[in-house]
Amino acid sequence: METWDAIRARRNVRQYRPDPVPDDALMRIVEAAWRAPSARNNQHWDFVVVIDRAQLEQLSTVWVGAKHIAHAPAAIALVVPEGGDERETLIDQFDLGQAMMAMTIAATDLGIGTGHSAVGDQDRARDILGVPADHRVCYLLGVGYPADRELQPIHKPNRRPFAEVMHRGRW
């Protein structure tokens, strides 16, 4: 798939076919995150790939919006160190956003759907994933082949009108 088509085809997938995602595809998706821009090249991130069904089911309980993780063939947890000042925390969150977007585009390019989620219960998430107490599990990304329809460019996305959100020179 061309990059522009992958950007236009990417959508949040919350229902997955049971087919496993090949390991080489998972590694490519995580490599996309690893290659994402990072402020000052800090790369404070770590990524935990989960394919174990029991772990996936447990992870689906760490946030109300994470239910889809229970039925995904795989999930990727995005983790950063705790602490730091407010600026560093903000920069880490921005970096994770770029890593997340890189993963979703890489997955779409492979015909693989993704659905993101926040994490509320940090203690539970850390326990399930074996993440040290001085780190924060910020986001989860469900990964799998869409159950409803293949990923194709969306010609009329459910978005605010482009002319309403794009401004030239001034608001």
- Share of residues in the chain with pLDDT > 90 (%): 98
What local confidence, expressed as pLDDT, does residue 111 receive? 97
As a whole number of angstroms, the distance between CA 10 and CA 126 comes to 29
Do the bridges between strand 46-50 and strand 113-118 make them parallel or antiparallel, or are there none, so unpaired?
unpaired
The per-residue DSSP string of 8-39 comes to: HH--B---B-SPPPPHHHHHHHHHHHHTS--G
Does position 1 have pLDDT exceeding 80, yes or no?
Answer: no
As a whole number of angstroms, the distance between CA 98 and CA 103 comes to 9
Residue 100, both tokens = 């997340």
Q: What is the pLDDT of residues 94-130, one digit of tens each?
A: 999 999 999 999 999 999 999 999 999 999 999 999 9
Does position 84 have pLDDT exceeding 90, yes or no?
Answer: no
Does position 46 have pLDDT exceeding 90, yes or no?
Answer: yes
Helices (H) and strands (E) in the chain, counts: 6, 4
Tell me the average pLDDT of the chain. 97
Q: Which domains does the chain have, with CATH numbers?
A: 3-147 (3.40.109.10)
Neighbours of 118 (CB within 10 A): 13
